[in-house]
A and B are shown apart, each in its own frame.
Chain A
Amino acid sequence: MMTLLGDHQFERALDECCGRVLRGELLERCLADYPAEYREELARLVPISTPLGRLGHDPSPEFQNRLERRLLASMDEARRLPEPGVLARLGRILMSNRMVRVAATVLVVLLLLGAGGFGVDRVAANSLPDSPLYRVKAARERLQLVLAQTPEARVAVQASQIAERGTEMERAVQTAKPATVVRMLETRLARATRNMVDQALEREARGNPQPAIRALAVLRAVEVRLDRLIVQARPEQRPELLRARDFIRQQEERLFEAFPRNTPGRAI
């Protein structure tokens, strides 16, 4: 049904027709103004737009007044506070710049590597969130993401980091780490997964399905791993692992939605 994707003329017709129907015109009348090859797709998609306008609603006047009073009181408080010093202001300006933040991260990682040698990095690679060395590993992963130039490269980096979270969860279960460690891993896994799927879907929407296929493959591998771990885990670790697996499944569903027919393993 997506054969008209990329047809700018159709996209303009869809936009116009949705607008006309929202202004109260009958769909049939609107369809009559467009070429026959567009009508079926327009008839399928235009009705979807009608209920979308009902999604949002306006704030009540009481709420608006209450919030205005609260904001003005906060503003009065802020006015009474002393001005921040020159150094504090300079720091704030510098850190609000993305490039400066990236440079600072690179510098910290280089300093860590320089101070402790590559041995630190290697030991950190096997660490878990309850170890101080895990920060080195996290910084290295952030750096890898920053250095990935294209969205496709970022998806690839995120996919390898998600696989790494799976390995860490395995290690946490094998070494009977407390539930808090598994929870931290699960949070990191969920964040990386959502970001990766968002980016993969963006690329798919632009006609490149490869990142989504790659993302799906890594999610399926992690899901299988989590299934096994849930059986082996201690009772207090299980809820976090179950939550992680459910989230992975939800994200897999999002990817399936993007290419429901062509995906290998769709029927599973």
Chain B
Amino acid sequence: MQRPAGNVARLIQQAKGYDRAAFSELYRLSVTPVYRYLSARLNSVEQAEELTQEVFLAALSGIQSLRAEDEPGLLAWLFQIARHKLADLLRQRYRHPPLAPLDQAEEMEATLPRPEETVELEEERVELRQALERLTPEQREVIVCKYVLGYDNDRTARTVGKNVNAVNQLHHRALASLHRLLCRPEKAVR
């Protein structure tokens, strides 16, 4: 349910003046979409929480530069910060890949009671995320907006800065690429 634009504009103005209540309300309005946006691309809860925190701290320190006057505008701004934070994290991960000692990993595996179904679901998620990373940034944004955030076409179009036809085309190409990546017999996704 979207808030009336006037309310959000007023809250943003008040938050710029460091009004606690206004900032809290904006935070509650946006924390779930921002978290979902990040968790769709990250494999651990800790990382999603850490990055969400970084996004909101960056938003707080840059709130004076916020030009949005409604909820979609506010979220588009927060997603932009989230995109930069994610890019930083992926660069860092590429430079220093996490290496868990094998015996520790095996220990975790052995101690956690994980029904087969849960393991399969988690594996499916990891594979999907890897495939998602191989789409073009625009295709990825469309998939996240439509399926992770549950936006309709108009809202997706507004968030990615395209028209609805372009969104439909990106959606089609993204699904075709995902099909190619996920349904090949040798599962080339790494």
A interface list, Cβ under 8 A from B: 1-2, 4-6, 8, 10-12, 14-15, 18, 22, 44-45, 48-49, 51-59, 63-64, 67-68, 70-72, 74-76, 78-79, 96, 187, 190-191, 198, 201-202, 205, 247, 250, 253-254, 257-258, 260
Contacts and interface: CB of A to CB of B under 8 A. Distances in A.
Interface in B22-58: 23-24, 27-28, 31-32, 35-37, 39-40, 48-49, 52-53, 56-57
B57 A202 contact: no
B132 interface: yes
Q: Which of A8, A18, A55, A68 has the most CB of B within 10 A?
A: A55
B68 interface: no
A74 B57 CA distance: 8
B155 interface: no
B159 interface: no
A79 B15 CA distance: 11
Contact of A260 (B94, B165, B173, B180): B180
Interface of B: 18, 20, 23-24, 27-28, 31-32, 35-37, 39-40, 48-49, 52-53, 56-57, 60-61, 65, 91, 94-95, 121, 124-125, 128-129, 132, 134, 136-139, 143-144, 146-150, 153, 165, 168-173, 175-183, 188, 190
B139 A205 contact: yes
A45 B179 contact: yes
B39 A56 contact: yes
Given A48-B182, A55-B129, A205 B53 contact: no
A48 B171 contact: no
Contacts of A2: 176
Contacts of A55: 39-40, 125, 128-129, 132, 144, 147-148
Contacts of B136: 198, 201-202, 205
**A-B pairs with the 8 shortest C-beta distances?**
A52-B147, A56-B36, A11-B168, A56-B148, A56-B40, A59-B35, A55-B40, A201-B136
Nearest to A200: B136
Contact of A53 (B94, B148, B190): B148
A92 to B, nearest CB: 8
Main secondary structure of the interface of A (DSSP, over half): helix
Nearest to B57: A74
Given A75-B23, A96-B65, A14 B175 contact: yes
Given A48-B178, A55-B148, A58-B32, A187 B95 contact: yes
Nearest to B90: A194
Contacts of A1: 176
B147 A198 contact: no
Q: Which of A11, A74, A187 has the most CB of B within 10 A?
A: A11
Contacts of B176: 1-2, 5, 45
Q: Which of B48, B91, B136 has the most CB of A within 10 A?
A: B136
Contacts of B170: 205
Contacts of A44: 179
Nearest to A191: B91
A98 to B, nearest CB: 13
A113 B128 CA distance: 50
B24 to A, nearest CB: 6
B115 to A, nearest CB: 16
B20 A72 contact: yes
Contacts of A202: 136-138
B124 A8 contact: no
Nearest to B143: A52
A75 B125 contact: no
Contacts of A68: 24, 27-28, 31
A79 B147 contact: no
